[in-house]
Amino acid sequence: MIVLGIETSCDETAVSLFDGNSAIVEIIYTQSVHSSFGGVVPELASRHHIKKLYPMVKSALGQSKITAADIDAIAVTAGPGLPGALLVGATFAKGFAYARNIPIVAVNHLEGHIFAAKLGCEIEPPFLALLVSGGHTEIAKIIDWGEYKTLGATRDDAAGEAFDKVAQVLGLPYPGGPEIQMLAEQGNPNLINFPRAMMKSGNLDFSFSGLKTAVINLLYDWGADKVQKNIEDISASFQEAVVDTLLGKLKIAVEETGIDTVAIVGGVAANERLRIKSKEMGWNVCIPPLKYCTDNGTMIAAAGYFHLQKAETTSLTFSTKPNWELDEI
Amino acid sequence: MTSETIREQTDSPEETERFGETFAKKLHNGMTVLLFGELGAGKTTLTRGICRAFGIGIVKSPSFVMVNIYSGQGIDIYHIDLYRVPELDAETAGEIGEYIWNDDAIKIVEWAENLPDDILSGEIVSIKIKRISDNEREIIIEEN
């Protein structure tokens, strides 16, 4: 069975031809146009998806020597994400499915990230997933494939959003994660004791807004020159606060559920410091390869493939859901 | 048309949130609240207070998805965030307009400076949040 996976929820246009185990061919296009705007510009994202998607599908077919007639089903991200961007992928997928008369699965983007763990590691439920990206920060219990319970989530900003906004405050380009990580390698993570919020809140929720404000306050207190001179130490200390908070909450989740197999997925899972420190926690840690941490089409195809096996297909009349939560699957 | 300016000072994020909760009494369906203030000023915090007054518990930054929709006690709130849209083109403006022009909800817009003037209609309240110190903020409200 060959599944075409399509992902256009944010600034990556991604397609994958998936055979049920692995990708036959996968193509990801990241929109660099956004860096000059300090963030993803939603309309630009939609326009680029429109321009890129069809040629990318054609190219994937060409590279794999698979014809459109060989595709058995199509899986597409229906949410959460930017409304316009989601619409491009969903509309293309519906057209394709209708023309070829093949089933379609509307995939939840967060479930896709959970399936990225299956692509990267030998992992079976039950396990815990820490899902961290520009738009999401949550801990979910994977009771079984297809059956999820959100245990905690951010109350304000996502961890990746904190990286992006702090990078902007520090005058660094977008996306902020790689920039801060690079500077942090040369810095002292213990120089500034930034807040680790809600560690004693008694729940598994996160808050990163206060950490962002703490960096802004430092900019006011120190002045721009001193901040620039110490930018490596500030980056390292900020990154350490994010990593400590994520792993601190995950530790509580491990203790409360008794489940010590954890998957760390989403764009922030690309962070080297998070990768290293998570492996020192004494858990069975699964972090997918970098290409499956950031948004990709293969994880969407893999989630779609799972639902197809259970005959869970979606009607062609489905609507995209920009605020679709994991527990609503 | 009458215009009224109110100035308030808050000494902590908690107080900014409480201020939002009190201020929410002035709001009703169809109104649009425009929020201005730099990163970390407290726009989302103030929004959280407004939403709490209507029984809405969870208010997250919509920077990534642009719009969060909350259903509260007898009222819907559209929480719009234009942080990522410094140059709003006609197409996206139209998409945002669909929310702004809806009279069956209260609309709150963060980074309202990125909103083209011609999109606005109906009753509008502008709120500017200015940083005084690490924790203190001046909140300036202009009602039209």
The residues that bridge with B36 in the sheet, in sequence order, are B128
Token pair recorded at residue A182: 């690079």
Mean of the pLDDT values across residues A154-175?
A: 93
Please state, in angstroms and rounded to a whole number, the distance separating the CA atoms of residues A163 and A15.
27
B106 assigned to some structural domain: yes
- In tens, the pLDDT along A209-242 reads 999 999 999 999 999 999 999 999 999 999 999 9
Of the candidates B13, B58, B92, which has its C-beta nearest A42's C-beta? Answer: B92
Tokens 């959460």 label which residue? A80
B37 assigned to some structural domain: yes
Q: Which residue of B has its CA nearest to A133?
A: B64
B138 assigned to some structural domain: yes
Cβ contact (<8 Å) for A135 and B64?
yes
Provide CB contacts within 8 A for A40, sequence distance 6+. Answer: A10, A11, A31, A34, A82, A134, B64, B84
B1 assigned to some structural domain: no
Strands, E assignment, B11-144: 32-36, 67-72, 75-81, 106-110, 124-131, 137-143
Cβ atoms of A286 and A123 closer than 8 Å: yes
- In order of A78, A181, A195, the CA distances from A92 in angstroms are 12, 36, 45
- What pLDDT is recorded for position A82? 84
B57 assigned to some structural domain: yes
- Looking at residue B113, what DSSP letter applies? G
Indicate which CATH number applies to the domain containing B31.
3.40.50.300
pLDDT at A301 over 80: yes
Instruction: Give this complex's ipTM.
Output: 0.91
Cβ atoms of A29 and A14 closer than 8 Å: yes
- What pLDDT is recorded for position A273? 97
How many Cβ pairs within 8 Å bridge chains A and B?
A: 85
Which residues in chain B are contacts of A159 at CB distance < 8 A? Answer: none
Cβ atoms of B109 and B35 closer than 8 Å: yes
How far is the alpha carbon of B83 from chain A, nearest alpha carbon, in Å? 8
- In tens, the pLDDT along A98-150 reads 999 999 999 999 999 999 999 989 999 999 999 999 889 999 999 999 999 99
Of the candidates A40, A80, A213, which has its C-beta nearest B84's C-beta? Answer: A40
Q: Please state whether beta strands A23-30 and A12-18 pair in parallel, antiparallel, or not at all (unpaired).
A: antiparallel
pLDDT at A302 over 70: yes
Tokens 């909450």 label which residue? A249
Which residues in chain B are contacts of A41 at CB distance < 8 A? Answer: 84-87
- In tens, the pLDDT along B86-125 reads 777 777 787 788 889 999 999 999 999 999 888 888 899 9
Cβ contact (<8 Å) for A216 and B39?
yes
pTM of the shown model: 0.92
Cβ atoms of A128 and A141 closer than 8 Å: yes
Determine the structural domain holding residue B18 and report its residue range. Answer: 6-143
A35 near B CB under 8 A: no
| Count of the separate structural domains present in chain B | 1
